[in-house]
Amino acid sequence: MARLHIFGGDPARNSSDAVAVIGLGRFGASLALELMAGGTEVLGIDPVESVVQDLNGKLTHVVRADATGEEVLRQLGVAEYGRVVVAIGSHLEASILTTSLLLRFGVKDIWAKAVSEAHGTILQQLGVPHVVFPERDMGRRVAHLVRGSMQDYVDLEAGYALIKTRPPSSLIGKSLGQADVRKAHGVTIVARHPDGGEWEDATPSTVLASGDLVLVTGRKRRVEAFAALT
């Protein structure tokens, strides 16, 4: 039986609604801590003692272990977790081996980090339902923020994006119904944040004011063109 260094008690208990994060580098640790902040229980697994010690007390359970071993994953009850994130990036073989074991165990909701297109292709061919590219996606997001007047940018599926931006001056003082933004610009304003206020759903009667922020969704080229009007 594999010898494990476990902090936080038995990780196999009450695991159906929790998330297991395998690999606690910058991405994995950040993800795990954010999940904890949102009230989700987290099992963190990493082979590096110093990493595990640093996160002791910050995650529900944290274990020093090599997740490429089938016996290790069985001992930890990882297959019982509703969602598992494979955040291993620097060691492709470990990422692929760990993911393959999870698939063999029948884990359905797997999120795996890919560090290259080739890595991502292999994970997709294995049957991983969610492959993420943190570095690539962050680079794309920052590029949009740098070259445009957007304050935030989220790349959605099928060529769509969601942005946070200021409304163009041509819309100030007009209701969204009157402006007919969808017809004029091919985008949809879904929410408004008045200066000094809080986010609220946008409706046809919503009147935009100077200092507002808006959330806009639509095809990428359309939302980029809309943001360029500000």
**pLDDT digits 0-9 by tens, 48-100:** 999 999 999 999 999 999 999 999 999 999 999 989 999 998 899 999 999 99
State whether 156 and 124 are in the same domain.
Answer: no
pLDDT of residue 2: 52
The pLDDT score that the predictor gives to residue 67 is 94
Q: Are residues 191 and 148 in the same domain?
A: yes
CATH number of the domain residue 128 falls in: 3.40.50.720
Q: Are residues 94 and 75 in the same domain?
A: yes
Q: Is this structure's pTM higher than 0.85?
A: no
121 and 26 in a single domain? The answer is yes
Average pLDDT over residues 150-159: 88
Contacts of 226 (CB under 8 A, 6+ apart): 163, 165, 168, 185, 187, 216, 218
Residues 142 and 124 in one domain: no
Does 108 lie in the same domain as 49? yes
What's the CA gap between 21 and 110, in Å, rounded? 10
The verdict on 121 and 11 lying in the same domain is yes
Q: Do residues 153 and 74 both lie within one domain?
A: no
**Average pLDDT rounded to a whole number, residues 188-194:** 97
Domain end residue (candidates: 97, 132, 167)? 132
Section 177-203 average pLDDT: 95
> What domain range is 146 assigned to?
137-227
> How many domains, in total, are found in the chain?
2
CATH assignment at residue 202: 3.30.70.1450
What band does 1 get if pLDDT is binned at 50, 70 and 90? very low
Look up residue 16 and give its amino acid.
Answer: S
State whether 37 and 20 are in the same domain: yes
Q: Which of 75, 110, 132 is the last residue of a domain?
A: 132
Angle 222-227-229 from CA coordinates, rounded to 5°: 100
- Beta-carbon neighbour count of residue 13 at 10 Å? 11
Q: Are residues 59 and 116 in the same domain?
A: yes
- Digit-coded pLDDT (tens) for 16-42: 689 999 999 999 999 999 999 999 999
In this structure, the answer to whether residues 124 and 16 fall within a common structural domain is yes
Q: Which of 86, 110, 132 is the last residue of a domain?
A: 132
| CA-CA-CA-CA dihedral for 77, 4, 44, 87, to nearest 10 | -90
Crossing angle for the helix pair 92-105 and 117-126, to the nearest 10 degrees: 20
CB 24 within 8 A of CB 88: no
Same structural domain, 101 and 87? yes
Kindly state the average pLDDT of the residues 127-146: 88
The answer on pLDDT for 11 being more than 60 is no
Tell me: pLDDT of 120 over 60: yes
Distances, alpha carbon 142 to alpha carbons 89, 145, 152, 219, in Å: 21, 5, 9, 18
Q: How far apart are CA 37 and CA 86, in angstroms?
A: 20
Report the candidate in 146, 11, 133 with the shortest Cα–Cα distance to residue 80: 11
